[in-house]
Chain A
Amino acid sequence: MTNNLQLNAEGKLKHFLSIEGLSKSLLIEILDTAESFASMSEQQVKKVPLLRGKTIVNLFFENSTRTRTTFELAATRLSADVINMNIATSATSKGESLLDTIRNLEAMFVDMFVVRHALSGAAHFIAQQTAPHISVINAGDGQHAHPTQAMLDMFTIRQLKPDFSSLRVAIIGDILHSRVARSEIQALNTLGAAEVRVIAPKTLLPAHVESLGVSVSHNLTAGLKDIDVVMMLRLQKERMSSALLPSESEYFKCFGLTEEKLKIAKPDAIVMHPGPINRGVEIDSKVANGPQSVILKQVSNGIAVRMAIMAMAMQTAPGKSPVTGAVQ
């Protein structure tokens, strides 16, 4: 059910909610399509008319700068009209339910929702409830998934290391609270990475983490050996309700990525971080700004990948009316 929800009757992308349930070939199609849009960023005119006349609502129930901005840029480069809903000052804070908010926006003839929500499953819920012509893109839901972040990271990795089958990737830090980590693990496994290794203290790992298809290490020094891609995660202070760590400085000492520790990974390893960075907490400034860091490349690629996903989700089946879904 949840798997099919993302695809239309022809097996094409309709909603983009989670990496789970999407085939390797579909992920590759997203990456290939993004490649086309990436070259556009270097052109004098960075705009194409693919989604002209479409209205996209950025529905952010949780704060975001990078994700919302790149979604907005991606939509405007596709010539769509974009509305940014500032939920903190909207009807939700006056007590309106999520479903009522959605119904009201539907009544304004919108075509796509880009949703970020603090609750896991919010984007799924909206996709299930919304009118059939509307597409829903998950821009991060609770601790569940952040699939566009995973795809832009796959895109960035593929630019530099095209062969996933020989790739050893380490994901380091707060796996427990990280929707990014879950989506990355699913994407890497779907694309056939040789190894996905999570490195974290026991308190920041979910129970039975091995069942996600990863190997586990609790020691950064030992864990970085033979690694091609180092993915750092942000220490999510705002989600840390109980005392899972002694202190930030203690964390940096054990799990912070420094130039010294990076030397343990392969010499051509790349360093990634989904942002925002806590310098001196999970990553040393010298590494974040260093030659192996691709952090800003990730941000640029976010635009092309989000363009690809939005364009793919907005294509309607041949011969069908986008509004009623009926054959004309």
Chain B
Amino acid sequence: MLEIPELLNNLEAELKQLIDQRQLLNPLMLGIRTGGVWIAEQMHTRLAISEPLGLLDISFYRDDFSQIGVNPKVKPSHLPAHIEGRDIILIDDVFYTGRTIRAALNEIFDYGRPNQVILGVLIERDGRQIPLNPDCVGARIILNTGQRIKLTGPEPLTIHLETLAKEA
């Protein structure tokens, strides 16, 4: 039911429409590591964005640090020198609770005050815990309790629907 090429086409179309609608001349695209970067690379090419893709690693901004600790393999974020006043297109793979996006926004705003931030995701699933919404999506789905969606990549990009064992 979820075909990657179709989802990418949908997301591209929605982003294109919003970019036109808001008349963004020189947007800056940021991908969230790891899955979001794979999607962002595709969108960056398809939408012919001139400025290099920015990379965001939100590990140090997670709100569950005290529970899960530090991930020892955090890669550096690569943000351009000037975030101030920019139109940012933030890309992630799966939108679920919204906590990743909260962390990403915090990191972005530590670097400056953008003019606006647009959020595009390949898949939006149910289970939101924070009042945030994606602006552009490839597909919206509702999963059963205990189901989880995961993206692997970058070549090939594949969607995995997993059913988790019930927690003890």
- On whether the two chains bind one another, the answer is yes
How many A-B residue contacts, CB cutoff 8 Å? Answer: 57
Task: Tell me, yes or no, whether A308 is within 8 Å of chain B by CB.
Answer: yes
Please pick, from A33, A40, A44, A316, the residue contacting B70 in the complex, using a CB distance under 8 A.
A33
Cβ contact of A32, chosen from B60, B73, B110, cutoff 8 A: B73
Question: CB of B5 within 8 A of chain A?
Answer: no
B47 at the interface (CB under 8 A from A): no
Tell me if A5 is interfacial: C-beta within 8 Å of chain B: no
Does A212 make an interface contact (CB < 8 A)?
no
A15-23, A46-54, A158-166: which lies at the B interface?
A46-54
Within 8 A of A (CB), among B25-66: 59-61, 65-66
CA distance A91 to B89 in the complex (A): 56
Contact A36 B74 (CB under 8 A): yes
Stretch at the interface among B75-83, B134-142, B143-151: B75-83
Residue in chain A with minimal CB distance to B69: A315
Q: How large is the interface on B (under 10, 10 to 19, 20 to 34, 35 or more residues)?
A: 20 to 34
Q: Is A29 an interface residue (CB 8 A)?
A: yes
Whether the Cβ atoms of A315 and B72 lie closer than 8 Å is no
Whether A29 and B76, one on each chain, are in contact in the complex, defined by CB atoms closer than 8 angstroms, is no
Closest to B62 in A: A50
A318:B70 contact, CB within 8 angstroms: no
Taken residue by residue from 296 to 328, chain A's Cβ proximity to chain B (1 for < 8 Å, 0 otherwise) reads as: 000000000000100110111011001000000
Instruction: Tell me the chain A residues, 1-51 only, with Cβ under 8 Å from chain B.
Output: 12, 29, 32-33, 35-36, 39-40, 42-45, 47-50
- B79: chain A residues at CB < 8 Å are 43-44
Interface assignment of B17: CB less than 8 Å from any CB of chain A = no
Residue pair A316, B67 in contact (C-beta under 8 Å): yes
Are the C-beta atoms of A50 and B70 separated by less than 8 Å? yes
Given the contacts A36-B59, A45-B110, A49-B60, A308 and B70 also touching, CB distance less than 8 Å: yes
Binary contact readout B71-102 vs A (1 if CB under 8 angstroms, 0 otherwise):
11111110101000000000000000000000
Closest chain-B Cβ to A309's Cβ sits at a distance in Å of 10
> In the complex, what distance in Å separates the CA atom of A48 from the CA atom of B60?
6
A151 CB to nearest chain B CB (Å) = 14
The contact of B81 among A44, A48, A49, A319, by CB within 8 Å, is: A44
A318 contact from B59, B68, B106, Cβ within 8 A: B68
Query: CB distance A322 to B70 under 8 Å?
Result: no
Instruction: List, in ascending order, chain B residues with CB within 8 A of A315's CB.
Output: 65-70
How many chain A residues have a CB neighbour from B under 8 Å?
A: 25
- Which of B67, B73, B81, B110 is within 8 Å of A36, CB to CB? B73
Q: Which residues of A contact B76 (CB under 8 A)?
A: 36, 39-40, 42-43
Q: With a CB–CB cut-off of 8 A, which chain A residues contact B77?
A: 43
Contact B66 A32 (CB under 8 A): no
B115 to chain A minimum Cβ distance, whole angstroms, is: 19
Q: Is the CB–CB distance between A29 and B72 below 8 Å?
A: yes
CB proximity of A303 to chain B, nearest CB, Å: 15
What's the Cα separation between A319 and B66 when bound, in Å?
10
- Give the top 3 A-B pairs by smallest Cβ distance, nearest first: A36-B74, A48-B60, A39-B76
Q: Which residues of B contact A (CB under 8 A)?
A: 59-61, 65-77, 79, 81, 106, 110-111
List 9 extra interface pairs beyond A36-B72, A36-B73, A316-B66, CB under 8 A.
A29-B72, A32-B73, A36-B59, A36-B70, A36-B76, A43-B79, A308-B70, A315-B67, A316-B67
5 contacts between A and B (CB under 8 A): A12-B69, A36-B73, A39-B75, A49-B61, A315-B65
